[in-house]
Amino acid sequence: MASRIRRLRARALKATFRAHAAIYERSDGRVGAWLGLPTLLLSVTGRKSGRTYSTPLVYFRDGDRYVVVGSDGGARRDPQWWKNLQVDPIGTVRVGRERFVVRASLATGDERARLWRMGQSANPIWSRYQTQTVRELPVVVLSPERD
């Protein structure tokens, strides 16, 4: 029963994210905040399909970099967008009406600890998600690519 509920929850969450991404794009970035939190739209290339997938993610800034957390609602596994970036670290970010290419990297060590503290202030729910899973939530840094 628990696995069935988990699957239904995952499907509902996936449908919500698809709708959110579509609204973000169709509104030309004018509508996109998630529950009042700053939200970007990350587009990545699927590691198996080669298709482009877009996911709305809560973020915070660290200088000119954007930081996201692969919480996936406290799921047991890392989110697909992070698995895709591990194969090809180049993606596209849309923040409001601005769109640019980024290179993703995983924060580790002291940098991860510093960014995790910042992230807990930016989005306190990430702390709760971390307690719901045994995996360490990836803290992913999206650095804009310079021309």
DSSP string, 57-94: EEEEEETTEEEEE--GGG-SS--HHHHHHHH--EEEEE
Percentage helix, strand, coil for the chain under 3-state DSSP, each rounded to 5: 40, 30, 30
Q: Can you give the pLDDT at residue 76?
A: 86
User: In one letter, which amino acid is 145?
Assistant: E
Tell me the Ramachandran region of residue 58: left when phi exceeds 0, alpha when psi lies from -120 to 50, beta otherwise: beta
Higher pLDDT among residues 49 and 3, named by residue: 49
Biggest distance spanned by C-alpha atoms of the chain: 52
Q: Indicate the average pLDDT of the chain.
A: 86
Highest mean pLDDT among 35-49, 104-118, 121-135: 104-118
pLDDT value of position 98: 93
CA distance readout (Å), 100 to 16, 80, 139, 146: 24, 21, 20, 10
- For residues 42 and 58, give the distance between their C-alpha atoms in angstroms, rounded to a whole number: 10
> Which tens digit of pLDDT belongs to each residue from 19-34?
555 566 656 555 555 5
Identify the pLDDT of residue 73: 82
pLDDT value at position 41?
94
User: For the residues 104-110, what does the mean pLDDT come to?
Assistant: 98
Name all domains of the chain by residue range, CATH numbers in brackets.
Answer: 2-144 (2.30.110.10)
Look at residue 3 in the predicted model and tell me its pLDDT.
73
Q: Is 147 helix (H, G, I), strand (E, B) or coil?
A: coil
Cα–Cα dist 103/146, whole Å: 10
* Conformation bin of residue 40: beta by default, left when phi > 0, alpha when psi is -120 to 50: beta
Range from 30-34, 85-89, 125-129 carrying the lowest mean pLDDT: 30-34
Mean pLDDT, to the nearest integer, of 98-125?
96
